[in-house]
């Protein structure tokens, strides 16, 4: 006695198969579509499955493919019951089916079904001899041919479209999914089919997803790019389209990955914010410059008068020194705001790195930091104002030096700093990327997008103005480049400086 699962959406066919197989002494389970079949297969391992090819809610082709991917079902003998076998030879290997029976008059079908059962007991080599049974006994049917052509066009479109498309039952179970959706979701098809769509999302977004399906009526529901939901670490928009079918009422869901778009919007917003801060800073700096000149001038006069009076008082010098500090900050602010307007000239990144290191190498060696530099000679030149790029590199190296000393106050084998340069291609333009990687304290995730803001600093008062990276950002931006950060708190910080290459 065999345990046999028959899957067909026609009740008459299910009855015929059940009668035939039970008369032969087999145990028969039935399902009216692929989705119900998968439910049965969760708790049953049949010896043979007979499956119709065209069915709602997961068709026979998809059901076979899933069955073959489930380890416990890999040895099940799968028979396709097909009306289209008369039109064209089904590609059984694509489906993972063992045999195909062409549907026809019941007397012939009965013979073929029993023959298929005999084959299920035969050695695999014997099975291969008769894989499509009953085809020669059927005549060509033009309607089916057209249905097949239309299905193929539809499948080709679905398989090549950039948007992810899923079909759900009214109970929100996934019954069809195209390759783009599989790639967005990142879960294998056999796991996704028949699973609950809403469970793909974390709790935070689940309520919004469920809301978008509630009482959809005939209306489309949209989760727009302004407030996307998160799925597989991607920002996703959803378009929920209920299909008013005469019986199944499926729901189509169109997924669109807008992660890149959101990142670009965030970058643009950041750039606009920086520009606004720059304009404000330039205005403030200009307004401060004049009174500071006045303060320094009056302090000089005071100093002269004290000398004339023979007073040995240090206060005027202290005023001058503090005013000079203010002037230095103002100068930095202005350079962040507008950059220098001198001409760029071709430069080699290796020279700039070498000049920068000559200024800081001594301090790095003194603190026991292992430095490794890998800058090939054959990199293309960049068009740059070298002293500005040097200023950026010095700033990055000073930060790395500070971070390393914070994490490892004494010598340590992990106290290392690496500098590498390479050529990369971004949107058809070659860039020279210089990466500074230190194993210092790292940057907490929640402040990573603030570190280029003017006056933002994590250093204690007196150890930094909070202008270094904002000035660096302005300089690299004015060079047509990019300043990028990657960091894991407590592990490492990677700063990447991308500058456009010449030629």
Partner 1 sequence: MNFRKLSKNLGLEEEEYIELFELFVETGMEDLNKLWFAIDIASTEKVASIAHSLKGASLNMGLNEFQEIAEAIGKTARDGQLEKTAKLAKILKEKLDNVAGVVGC
Binding residue (CB under 8 A) for partner 1 from 44, 88, 94, 105: 105
- Per-residue mark of binding to partner 1, 236-265 (x: CB under 8 A): ----------xx------------------
Size of the site for partner 1 (CB under 8 A): 24
Is 218 a residue that touches partner 1 (CB under 8 A)? no
Q: Which of residues 121-180 bind partner 1 (CB under 8 A)?
A: 141-144, 146-147, 150
The Cα angle at residue 492 between residues 487 and 495, in degrees rounded to 5:
55
Instruction: Map residue 90 onto helix, strand or coil.
Output: coil
Could you say which of 7, 53, 109, 439 contacts partner 1 (CB under 8 A)? 109
- Is residue 24 close enough to count as binding partner 1 by CB under 8 A? no
409 Cβ neighbours under 8 A, 6+ residues apart: none
> Using the rule CB under 8 A, is 18 a contact of partner 1?
no
Closest to partner 1 by CB, 154 vs 298, is 154
Pick one of 29, 40, 73, 83: the residue that binds partner 1 (CB under 8 A).
83
Is 300 a binding residue for partner 1 by CB under 8 A? The answer is no
Q: How far is the CB of 87 from partner 1 (least distance, A)?
A: 11
| Binding span for partner 1 by CB under 8 A among 11-19, 113-121, 231-239, 412-420 | 11-19
Q: Which is nearer to partner 1, 109 or 274 (CB)?
A: 109
Q: Which stretch binds partner 1 (CB under 8 A): 105-113, 225-233, 308-316, 425-433?
A: 105-113
Q: Does 331 bind partner 1 (CB under 8 A)?
A: no
Q: How far is the CB of 253 from partner 1 (least distance, A)?
A: 22
Handedness of CA 84, 89, 92, 93 (dihedral sign): negative
Q: How far apart are CA 394 and CA 388, in angstroms?
A: 10
Residues 262, 387: Cα–Cα separation, whole Å: 35
Q: How far apart are CA 371 and CA 350, in angstroms?
A: 15
**Backbone phi, then psi, for 264, in 5-degree steps?**
-65, -40
Q: Where on the phi/psi map is residue 490: left (φ > 0), alpha (ψ -120 to 50), or beta?
A: left
Is the CB of residue 157 less than 8 Å from the CB of residue 84?
no
Q: How far apart are CA 291 and CA 219, in angstroms?
A: 65
| Residue among 67 and 81 whose Cβ is closer to partner 1 | 81
Least distance CB 15 / partner 1 (angstroms): 6
Residue 19 or 293: the one with the smaller Cβ distance to partner 1 is 19
Min dist CB 485 to partner 1, Å, is 55
| Sole window of 5-13, 27-35, 158-166, 397-405 interacting with partner 1 (rule: CB under 8 A) | 5-13
Q: Is 234 in the site for partner 1 (CB under 8 A)?
A: no
CB of residue 142 to partner 1, shortest distance in Å: 7
In the three-class reduction of DSSP (H, G, I as helix; E, B as strand; rest coil), residue 108 is classed as helix
Q: Give the full edge-to-edge strand order of the sheet including 27-31.
A: 27-31, 3-7, 48-52, 77-82, 99-102, 132-133
User: With 0-12 CB in 10 A as exposed, 13-18 as middle and 19+ as buried, what is 26?
Assistant: middle
C-alpha 403, offset from chain centre: 30
Residue 454 to residues 101, 317, 332, 338: CA-CA distances in angstroms? 74, 29, 10, 14
* Of the residues 16, 306, 402, 485, which one makes contact with partner 1 according to CB under 8 A: 16
Give me the residues that bind partner 1 (CB under 8 A), please: 10-13, 15-16, 19, 83, 103-107, 109-110, 141-144, 146-147, 150, 246-247
């Amino acid at each position: 006695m065999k345990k046999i699962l028959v899957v067909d959406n026609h009740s008459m066919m299910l009855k015929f198969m059940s009668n035939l197989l039970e008369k032969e002494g087999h145990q028969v389970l039935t399902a009216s579509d692929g989705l119900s079949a998968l439910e049965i297969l969760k708790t049953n391992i049949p010896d043979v499955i007979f499956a119709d090819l065209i069915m709602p809610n997961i068709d026979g082709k998809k059901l076979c493919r899933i069955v073959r991917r489930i380890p416990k079902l890999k040895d099940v003998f799968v028979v396709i019951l097909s009306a289209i076998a008369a039109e064209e030879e089904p590609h059984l290997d694509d489906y993972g089916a063992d045999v195909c029976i062409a549907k026809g008059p019941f007397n012939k079908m009965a013979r073929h079904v029993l023959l298929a059962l005999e084959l299920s007991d035969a050695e695999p080599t014997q099975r291969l001899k008769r894989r499509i049974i009953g085809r020669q006994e059927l005549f060509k049917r033009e309607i089916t041919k057209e249905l097949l052509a239309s299905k193929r066009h539809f499948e080709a479109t679905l398989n090549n479209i950039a948007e992810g498309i899923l079909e759900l039952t009214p109970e929100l179970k996934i019954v069809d999914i195209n390759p783009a959706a599989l790639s967005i979701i990142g879960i294998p098809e056999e796991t996704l089919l028949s699973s609950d769509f809403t469970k793909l999302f974390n709790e935070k977004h689940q309520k919004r997803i469920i809301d978008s399906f509630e009482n959809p009526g005939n209306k489309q529901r949209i989760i727009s790019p302004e407030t996307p939901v998160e799925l597989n670490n991607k920002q996703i928009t959803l378009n929920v389209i209920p299909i008013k079918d005469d019986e199944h009422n499926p729901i189509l869901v169109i997924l669109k990955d807008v992660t890149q778009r959101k990142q670009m919007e965030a970058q643009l917003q950041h750039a606009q914010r920086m520009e606004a801060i720059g304009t404000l800073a330039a205005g403030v700096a200009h307004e401060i410059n004049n009174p500071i000149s006045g303060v320094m001038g009056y302090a000089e006069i005071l100093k002269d008068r004290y000398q004339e009076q023979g007073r040995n008082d240090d206060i005027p010098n202290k005023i001058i020194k503090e005013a000079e500090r203010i002037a230095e900050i103002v100068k930095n602010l202005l350079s962040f705001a507008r950059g220098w307007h001198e001409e760029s000239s071709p430069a080699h990144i290796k020279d700039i790195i070498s000049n920068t290191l000559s200024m800081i190498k001594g301090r790095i060696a003194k603190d026991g930091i292992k430095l490794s530099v890998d800058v090939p000679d054959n990199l293309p030149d960049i068009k740059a104002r070298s002293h500005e790029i040097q200023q950026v590199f010095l700033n990055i190296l000073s930060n790395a030096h500070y971070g390393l000393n914070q994490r490892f106050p004494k010598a340590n084998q992990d106290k290392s700093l690496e500098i590498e340069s390479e050529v990369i291609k971004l949107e058809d333009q070659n860039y020279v990327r210089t990466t500074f990687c230190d194993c210092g304290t790292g940057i907490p995730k929640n402040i990573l997008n603030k570190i280029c803001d003017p006056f933002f600093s994590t250093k204690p008062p007196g150890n930094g103005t909070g202008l270094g990276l904002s000035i660096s950002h302005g300089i690299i931006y004015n060079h047509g480049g990019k300043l990028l950060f990657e960091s894991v708190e407590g592990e490492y910080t990677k700063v990447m400086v991308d500058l456009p290459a010449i030629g």
